[in-house]
Amino acid sequence: MAASCGAAAARYRLIVNADDFGFTRDVNEGIVEAHRNGILTATTLMGNGDAFEHAAERARATPSLDVGCHLVLVQGESLVEPGRLLPTGLRELIVALARRRIDPYEEMAAQVRRIARAGIRPSHLDTHRHTHLLPPVLNAVVRIAHEFRIPWVRRPFDFVVDPTAPLWASAVAVGLRATGSVLARELGPPLRSTDHFAGFQITGTLDKTTLAATLERLPEGLTELMCHPGRLGDELRAAETRLKASREIELAALTSPEVRAVIERRGIALTNYR
């Protein structure tokens, strides 16, 4: 799905970005399908993903899909020290950072370099599990954005408390906003973020009903909607992730006529970071 040529003049502009490109081949196929047959306009590629080469090939074969970097410091294998596993979660990452067992810049820069060597020029950055809300990770992300001339960095604060979201997700989303001033200060020109963001609270519960409701509430300006579509094949079933069957449901939502009808009725222009 190509970005709308009238996006720059529209009141409501929307980038629909899929995280986890390169996670598994069935996730990759679902992301490409959501782009070709639905409203997805962009994705972020995991430089250390198990299905990286497959994702890079699919990206080269789908030039209309805008590709950025999904920088990974938790889950998967290090590119700096092949064979060494990265921390499994945020708590372990915080300990590793405090004890200087991991260099966030070196790990993430290696991922960007791998993406560039695959012939992909990334247009935007985000992090797996939003780890750039941690100050040492944010500093490394800003350095990488400047060094590799990648102008867009995600600001992962939902624009509204979603009444349909799980209570814990809404509570965490509200808590994340406390880091907003730090992120805004670090992401000064020439770096940019979208005006608004959505998707954190409904990760794992996004279906066509919740997606349509989010689009109905979309504010004026440029919004990024984060999503996690995919096909539920053998690779995803075997992967360490809580997002499995939900990826198929998100794929159905992103390609549904009902969602497309909301976009057309509200005059929402689909665009991307490029």
Read off the amino acid at residue 107.
Answer: E
What is the per-residue pLDDT for 67?
A: 98
> Residue 99 and residue 151: Cα distance in Å, rounded?
31
132 vs 10, which has greater pLDDT? 132
Contact 187, 146 (CB under 8 A): no
pTM of the complete model? 0.91
> Residue 230 and residue 148: Cα distance in Å, rounded?
29
> Residue 110 and residue 25: Cα distance in Å, rounded?
22
pLDDT reading at 218 higher than 80:
yes
Tally of CB atoms within 10 A around 95: 12
What is the per-residue pLDDT for 166?
A: 64
